[in-house]
Amino acid sequence: MNKLKANFHLQRAFTLIELLVVMAIIGVLAVVAVPVYSDYIDRVRVVQAVSDIGAIATSLITYQISTGKFPASLAEVGAQNYLDPWKNPYQYLNLSDPSDKSSKGKARKDHSLVPINSDFDLYSTGKDGESVSPLTAKASRDDIVRANNGRYIGLASQY
């Protein structure tokens, strides 16, 4: 009986090789799971930015209906402190003010260098926090933009 008990205790322990195999499996799973999780977080942030831009755009349009013109800044609609999911402020440019000739040159442009909006530009600078006027530039590919006067809100790379 004592011999049976001794064998039972020996069989309950893990060998070093078994532990190494388990650690290798956990390592492989981690290598696969981390990029998938990171991609998921990025997609969630894009959806949040699209939602925020839609809400801010609604405020801007409501302001325009009330006053007959778009505001000069986001502060006039109480959105000056809104930050995108990457902790950068949303960018706004009133394009409909005929007295402001400089705003036309700063407008966001598509691959043909045609402005993507005629009323106002509203966008997030995206994950890298950088942006330039043409959407085809590398710095602008991850931006979340409002285009076609609000008929499109999404990634600049998909516009």
Place of tokens 């000069």: 72
Instruction: Output the six-digit token pair for 56.
Output: 């801010």
Task: Note the residue count of the chain.
Answer: 159
DSSP 14: P
* pLDDT per residue as tens digits for the range 17-54: 888 999 999 999 988 888 889 899 999 999 999 999 99
Domains and CATH numbers, the chain: 2-158 (3.30.700.10)
Please state whether the predicted TM-score (pTM) of the whole model is above 0.85: no
Is the distance from CB of 90 to CB of 107 less than 8 angstroms? no
State residue 5's pLDDT score: 57
State residue 106's pLDDT score: 83
Quote the CA–CA distance of 92 and 124 in Å, as a whole number: 9
* pLDDT per residue as tens digits for the range 77-111: 999 899 999 999 999 999 987 766 655 568 899 98
* pLDDT per residue as tens digits for the range 108-147: 999 888 999 999 999 999 999 999 889 999 999 999 999 9
Q: Among candidates 139, 138, 156, which has minimal Cα distance to 147? A: 156
